[in-house]
Amino acid sequence: MALSREEVEHIAELAKLALTEEEKALYAEQLSAILDYFRKLQEVDTSDIPPTATVLPIRNVFRPDEPGEPMPRELLLQNAPAQADGCFQVQPILE
Amino acid sequence: MAPYEWTIHETLEHLRRGEISAVEVTEAYLRRIEALDPILHAYLTVTPDLALAQAREADERWAAWRRDPTMPLPPLNGIPLAIKDVICVRGVRCTCGSRILENFVPPYEATAVARLREAGAVFLGKTNTDEFAMGSSTENSAFGPTRNPWDVERVPGGSSGGSAAAVAADLCAGALGTDTGGSVRQPAALCGVVGLKPTYGRVSRYGLVAYGSSLDQIGPITKDVRDAALLLQWIAGPDPQDATSWPAPVPDYTRALIPDLKGMRVGVPPEYFIPGMQPEVEAAVREAIEVLAELGAEVIEVSLPHTAYALPTYYMIAPAEASANLARYDGVKYGLRIQGETIWDTYRLTRGRGFGPEVKRRIMLGTYALSAGYYDAYYLKAQKVRTLIRRDFEQAFEKADVIVCPTSPTTAFRLGERTADPLQMYLADIFTITANLAGICGISIPCGFDNQGLPIGLQILGPALGEEKILRVAYAYEQATPWHHRRPPLTAATSPGGPSGAGEPPA
């Protein structure tokens, strides 16, 4: 199946990726080829087959809810692209 | 024999006898890195200050132990190791091979790394990787590819290509890699070293930058099988910081290292010998199977009928998980930020320019597979086929203790040969991804060379928590064959003629 340019733009918007015009054209072509290849999966009869989300035989790992020592604020902020007053600084999200 | 040529267990023996100090061993590796890494580009960051400080501490512990042998001595005291640059070492830059994390310095440490530190290891640096471990050749690193020590015009495999090349070229005594679809085993095969992917959950993923969370596993890359057992011993085991770590005790893996295979049933799946694979690879693996029989194993045929569906299943599930995991790179708390007019523009620009082509391709693919209207047809379908692939293995392991097959359908390919066609690149993982989908363990060991002198890998797969079985078979085979003694014909004069990489990230 061929992905249209509009579909590529829609996916890029969902993924919050700014793409160049060349990238849009390239991904439309490459993703179409990959998705075509994936159609092979439709050959497999999976009726009554449950999905595997994890291979582990364990479910629900509990621990006592006890407060621990938090990481120091300065350490957490050391990688921030922008900070102010001991907080991460971002642009306004509300108009 | 130069100190950098020793295995981990040989190095420990020399250190124990007091013939050399940990500082001297570390300096030998640092000098070799300085001489050869400009050619190979196995490392993204070398940490000589950290390494020498750790080596000095190790020497103090050796001295204390010599004065009083009742003093506790950590098991890897003074062993210089390399860590793939998707695994956090506290205070050392962790780039994940990506521009988006070019200057990220983790304030915490991966559990596997912390355990090696407690075991007395020395950290030489962080090794090159495909961006966020997405790739099969290490060509997707934003900082330029690593070159294969056996032929510098060829790829080392990937994504742990830096770790595998570093071990093969004696730029470290051993290394950690990560394996989401074969990224420990395939580069180990292409570089002629040993690479072990533990059972999913056997090694804590805490501090490993997430790619495909239901598939990711940290594993050792080493010069021989005993070394793989030694490293696995200390990184394996449950971890309160990782709810998906397997709550089972860790056996003494070195006890599995016995040189015969009496009573072992070795399964050979015809689905792993396919048209189009390199004839020398098939021949070497078939010869290896004969050696296993001579060592006392019973060789039987087993069938894994859904093998042909593993590749599309993997390349649906892994990108879907990746698209969710990589949503965190938004330029707010860490990493690159490219400011736009609005916060939304900032997200788009930061991610659009910070991620490289393969990462964006997989995010797009995964986002599509998880998006409204396509979830059932793609993602859920792949998860159901994953169940069938798991069942194939469960049934096969009722008849066989281990399964043997090639690690990769070809030996190392040329730089640039597959970069234009993503599907062609994905085929490099065709024999390794099934173990990740099924959550089982596997190891790749050298089993010969093709007529160009490039190494061939034998893959030994075991059931969940079957690490002792694969180690036993790998060890018996290794001890009966000469392959692990061969080293690449590498000197500082070796110079690549191909295009140079994108350059080093700034220190």
Three-state DSSP class for residue B222: strand
Q: Show residues of chain A in contact with B104, CB under 8 Å.
A: 79
Q: Show residues of chain A in contact with B385, CB under 8 Å.
A: 41, 44, 46, 49
Quote the pLDDT of residue B502: 41
Q: b or e along B7-28 (b: 16 or more beta carbons within 10 Å of the residue's beta carbon)?
A: bbbbbbebbeeeeebbbebbbb
Q: Write the burial class of residue B79 (CB in 10 Å: 0-12 exposed, 13-18 middle, 19+ buried).
A: buried
Nearest to B425 by CA among B191, B217, B220, B183: B183
Torsion on CA atoms B119, B252, B220, A60, rounded to nearest 10: -90
For B376, name the nearest residue in chain A, comparing CA atoms only: A51
Determine contact, residues B155/B270, Cβ cutoff 8 Å: no
Q: Is B183 a known active-site residue?
A: yes
End-to-end alpha carbon distance in chain A: 40
Q: Is B197 a known active-site residue?
A: no
Q: What is the mean pLDDT of residues A12-26?
A: 97
Whether A16 sits inside 8 A of B330 (CB atoms) is yes
The tens digit of pLDDT for each residue in A34-60 reads 999 998 999 999 999 999 999 988 888
Three-state DSSP class for residue B459: strand
Q: Which of B183, B204, B408, B444 is catalytic?
A: B183
Q: Is B204 a known active-site residue?
A: no
- What class has domain B3-307+386-485? alpha beta
For A91, name the nearest residue in chain B, comparing CA atoms only: B343
Going residue by residue through chain B, which has 507 residues, state the pLDDT in tens, using 9 for 90 and above. Answer: 899 999 999 999 999 999 999 999 999 999 999 999 999 999 999 999 999 999 999 999 999 999 999 988 999 999 999 999 999 999 999 999 999 999 999 999 999 999 999 999 999 999 999 999 999 999 999 999 999 999 999 999 999 999 999 999 999 999 999 999 999 999 999 999 999 999 999 999 999 999 999 999 999 999 999 999 999 999 999 999 999 999 999 999 999 999 999 999 999 999 999 888 999 999 999 999 999 999 999 999 999 999 999 999 999 999 999 999 999 999 999 999 999 999 999 999 999 999 999 999 999 999 999 998 889 999 999 999 999 999 999 999 999 999 999 999 999 999 999 998 888 888 889 999 999 999 999 999 999 999 999 999 999 999 999 999 999 999 999 999 999 999 998 865 555 543 333 444 444
Nearest to B241 by CA among A10, A78, A71: A71
Its ipTM equals: 0.95
Residues B507, B486: Cα–Cα separation, whole Å: 34
Q: Show residues of chain B in contact with A76, CB under 8 Å.
A: 107, 333
DSSP state of B338: -
Q: Which of B136, B137, B141, B159 is catalytic?
A: B159
Q: Show residues of chain A in contact with B179, CB under 8 Å.
A: none
Residues A1, B276: Cα–Cα separation, whole Å: 26
Q: Write the burial class of residue B108 (CB in 10 Å: 0-12 exposed, 13-18 middle, 19+ buried).
A: middle
Among B380, B383, B384, the residue to mutate for chain A (most A Cβ within 10 A): B384
Angle at alpha carbon of residue B156, lines to B154 and B159, rounded to 5°: 135
Three-state DSSP class for residue B276: coil
Omega before residue B323 within 30° of 0, cis: no
Three-state DSSP class for residue A21: helix
Task: Please give the CATH architecture assigned to the domain spanning A5-43.
Answer: Orthogonal Bundle (1.10)
Nearest CB to A11 within list B316, B364, B377: B364
Quote the pLDDT of residue B503: 43
**Would you list the domain boundaries of chain A?**
5-43
